[in-house]
């Protein structure tokens, strides 16, 4: 006889024998809030015992037997029509791949429990249109889990698929060491570079105890704008490969779609931003409470189909931490450009606060100057950019390959390199440049008055080069042909 876990919020009773006692606290008014008649407290802390801690949302789901003696069995097949997995038919035991294709729809009712065998999975839109709709409520959640406290193949949404997931727990999704089943929830888009597909809506979704990734977003797959309360707990602890030990692996264009929520306890509690191709559209990095980790670089540039004057925008919220590495590309860090030089480019709005600055830093546990190369910004319209309360640190590696920009040192290595366009005065203020292996800022543009001076209203600490902030050229000359000309 095979067994599966009885989660206490489904039984409406405490169960001290469970190793996952924090599941008891998943539903409470004080957590997610709003939406579905009460919030889902996506915190692994024990439930408050009274007084100001929020009101327990009582489960109205019926108690079920925790063995395979009852329920409904589903063997591997394709769903091409409309099918509903009911609460009354729970548990739903799945022995193989369930493909939702050919216009099919699978609806999983509130209170339903789905128990997946090893390598069994649910996939919507793998080859043609298909929809998965699993919408629980605060008092009537849905659980997808494995047999015998083992693992299962997870949930997939392809480029032709859609999913609507609410008040759903996916527990122990993914299989250790198997690259075909490496996340609890995998979403794949249509592989464009300008806008994410946004085919999945979530509202209070919890991915817990995945042996590898909790979430994988690839090929421009993503979440809808109204998605909310995504929580990923304790992912990656069974994986030996670094990139699968993160809470989530997300290709850069899809980062904008990540909902806020709770991201706690993963082996590497960060978002692995997989540097696959350039981003040719707007990008928004929200403060999710954990870092964005770019092992190699982020490249953004306007697409070749854009008109003169078109821009794309990188927006970074207060408190965001961006960890940068040094991979194979010389411009490791950020590369912001317009290859066709049509007075277009990338606009940056990165406005932190004194209490919540934005941080560009090393991804290493023991950071040192030169751990990443630079933010290489060689195309922008020059207006609309704003960087306030930003900290740049542990970059400036002396191998950017940029030479002869502005009137500073011959090698244009720095934490921030601005070249071939003229910024507005005060574009960068209240910011800190520190721990650079070269300069802090290269003013790599030309202006008749050799302005603006971006050293004003900023702080500089532990900068290796004597020329911390270079002057731009006047257009035809620098003040000295033999020594750097610098603001600071």
pLDDT digits (tens, 9 = 90+) for 186-212: 999 999 989 999 999 999 999 999 999
What's the confidence (pLDDT) of residue 58? 56
Question: What sign for the dihedral angle of Cα 344, 257, 269, 245?
Answer: negative
Please, which contacts does 50-53 make with residues 24 or more away whose CB atoms are closer than 8 Å?
53/28
Provide the token pair at 263. 């991201």
pLDDT tier for residue 38 given thresholds of 50, 70 and 90: very low
Q: What angle do CA 426, 428, 430 make, to 5 degrees?
A: 100
- Distance (Å, rounded) from C-alpha 399 to C-alpha 99? 49
pLDDT of residue 33 exceeding 70, the answer is no
What's the confidence (pLDDT) of residue 146? 93
Pairing of strands 268-273, 292-294: parallel
What's the confidence (pLDDT) of residue 406? 87
First to last CA, the chain: 75
Under 8 Å between Cβ of 143 and 23? no
pTM value?
0.89
Q: Please report, for the chain, the start and end positions of each structural domain, with discontinuous segments joined by +.
A: 64-274, 276-488
* Other CB atoms within 10 A of residue 18 CB: 14
pLDDT tier for residue 43 given thresholds of 50, 70 and 90: very low
pLDDT of residue 342 exceeding 60, the answer is no
What's the confidence (pLDDT) of residue 18? 30
Beta bridge partners of 387: 350, 428
C-alpha separations of 288 from 8, 40, 285 in Å: 28, 17, 9
pLDDT tier for residue 367 given thresholds of 50, 70 and 90: very high
Highest mean pLDDT among 6-10, 33-37, 342-346: 342-346
pLDDT of residue 343 exceeding 80, the answer is no
Phi-psi region of 487 (alpha: psi -120 to 50; beta: other; left: phi over 0): alpha
What's the confidence (pLDDT) of residue 330? 52
pLDDT in tens, 55-108: 345 567 777 766 655 789 999 999 999 999 999 999 999 999 999 999 999 999
Provide the token pair at 444. 């790599």
Provide the token pair at 46. 């024990």
pLDDT of residue 17 exceeding 70, the answer is no
What's the confidence (pLDDT) of residue 151? 95
pLDDT of residue 219 exceeding 50, the answer is yes
Comparing 59 with 152, which gets the higher pLDDT? Answer: 152
Comparing 226 with 10, which gets the higher pLDDT? Answer: 226
Comparing 53 with 275, which gets the higher pLDDT? Answer: 275
pLDDT of residue 169 exceeding 50, the answer is yes
Comparing 339 with 290, which gets the higher pLDDT? Answer: 290
Comparing 297 with 114, which gets the higher pLDDT? Answer: 114
Provide the token pair at 452. 């603006």
What's the confidence (pLDDT) of residue 27? 37
What's the confidence (pLDDT) of residue 400? 72
What's the confidence (pLDDT) of residue 310? 85
Please, which contacts does 10-16 make with residues 24 or more away whose CB atoms are closer than 8 Å?
10/59, 10/61, 10/63, 10/64, 10/111, 10/113, 10/141, 10/143, 11/59, 11/61, 11/63, 12/58, 12/59, 12/60, 12/61, 12/63, 13/63
pLDDT in tens, 392-426: 999 999 877 778 898 988 889 999 999 989 999 99
3-state secondary structure string across the chain? CCECCCCHHHHCCCCCCCCCHHHHHCCECCCCCCECCECCCCCCCCCCCCCCCCCECCCCCCCCCCECCCCEEECCEEECCEEEECCCCCCEEECCCEEECCCEEEEECCCCEEEECCCCCEEECCCCCEEEEEECCCCCCEEEEEHHHCCECCEEECCCEEEEEEEEEEECEECCCCCCCCEEEEEECCCCCCCCCCCEEEEEEEEECCCCEEEEEECCCCECCCCEEEEEECCCCCCCCHHHCEEEEECHHHHHHCCCEEEECCCEEEEEECCCCCECCCEEECCCCCCEEECCEEEEECCCCCCCCCEEEEEECCCCEEEECCCCCCCCEEEEECCCCCCCEEEEEEECCCCCCEEEEECCCCCCCCCCCEEEECCCCCCCCEEECEEEECCCCCCCCCECCCCCCCECCEEEEEECCCCCCCCEECCEEEEECCEEEEEECECCCCCCCCCCCCEEEEECCCCCEECCECCCCCCCCCCCCECC
What's the confidence (pLDDT) of residue 6? 59
Comparing 111 with 357, which gets the higher pLDDT? Answer: 357
> Considering the chain, what percentage of its residues have pLDDT values greater than 70?
84
What's the confidence (pLDDT) of residue 398? 83
What's the confidence (pLDDT) of residue 44? 34
For 107-119, b/e burial (b = at least 16 CB within 10 A) is: bbbbbbbbbbbeb
Nearest alpha-carbon partner for 78 in 91, 52, 97, 65: 97
Provide the token pair at 54. 């929020």
Highest mean pLDDT among 38-52, 221-235, 333-347: 221-235
Comparing 278 with 290, which gets the higher pLDDT? Answer: 290
Average pLDDT, the chain: 85
């Amino acid at each position: 006889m095979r067994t599966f876990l009885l989660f206490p919020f489904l039984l409406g009773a405490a169960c001290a024998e469970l190793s996952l006692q924090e599941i008891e606290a998943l539903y409470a008014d004080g957590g997610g809030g709003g939406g579905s008649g009460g919030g889902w407290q996506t915190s692994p802390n024990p439930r408050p015992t009274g007084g100001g801690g929020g009101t327990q949302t009582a489960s109205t789901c019926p108690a079920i037997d925790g063995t395979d003696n009852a329920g409904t069995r589903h063997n591997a097949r394709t769903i091409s029509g409309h099918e509903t997995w009911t609460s009354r038919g729970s548990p739903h035991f799945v022995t193989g791949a369930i493909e939702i294709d050919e216009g099919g729809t699978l609806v999983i009712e509130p209170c339903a429990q789905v128990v997946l065998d090893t390598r069994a999975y649910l996939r919507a839109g793998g080859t043609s249109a298909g929809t998965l709709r699993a919408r629980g409520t605060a008092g009537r959640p849905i659980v997808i889990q494995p047999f015998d406290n083992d693992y299962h193949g997870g949930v997939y949404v392809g480029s032709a698929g859609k999913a609507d997931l609410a008040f759903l727990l996916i527990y122990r999704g993914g299989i250790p060491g198997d690259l075909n089943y490496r996340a609890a929830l995998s979403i794949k888009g249509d592989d464009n570079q300008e806008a994410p597909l946004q085919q999945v809506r979530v509202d209070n979704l919890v991915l817990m105890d995945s042996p590898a990734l909790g979430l994988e977003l690839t090929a421009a797959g993503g979440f809808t704008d109204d998605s909310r309360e995504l929580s990923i707990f304790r992912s990656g602890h069974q994986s030996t490969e670094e990139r699968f030990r993160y809470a989530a692996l997300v290709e850069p264009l899809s980062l904008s779609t990540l909902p806020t929520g709770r991201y706690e306890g993963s082996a590497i509690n960060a978002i692995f931003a997989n540097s696959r191709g350039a981003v040719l559209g707007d990008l928004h990095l929200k403060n999710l409470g954990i870092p964005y980790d770019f092992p190699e670089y982020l490249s953004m540039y306007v697409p070749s189909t854009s008109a003169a004057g078109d821009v794309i925008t990188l927006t970074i919220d207060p408190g965001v931490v961006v960890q940068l590495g040094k991979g194979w590309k010389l411009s490791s860090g950020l590369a912001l450009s317009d290859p066709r030089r049509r007075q277009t480019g990338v606009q940056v709005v990165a406005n932190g606060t004194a209490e919540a600055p934005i941080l560009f830093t090393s991804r290493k546990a023991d950071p040192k100057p030169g751990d990443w190369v630079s933010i290489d910004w060689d195309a922008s319209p020059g207006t609309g950019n704003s960087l306030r309360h930003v900290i740049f640190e542990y970059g400036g590696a002396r191998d950017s390959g940029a030479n002869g920009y502005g009137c500073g040192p011959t090698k244009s290595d720095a934490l921030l390199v601005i070249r071939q366009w003229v910024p507005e005065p005060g574009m960068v203020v209240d910011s800190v440049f520190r721990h650079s292996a070269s300069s802090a800022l290269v003013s790599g543009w030309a202006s008749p008055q050799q302005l603006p001076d971006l050293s004003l209203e900023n702080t500089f600490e532990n900068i290796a080069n004597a020329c911390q902030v270079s002057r731009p050229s006047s257009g035809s000359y620098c003040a000295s042909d033999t020594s750097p000309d610098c603001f600071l």
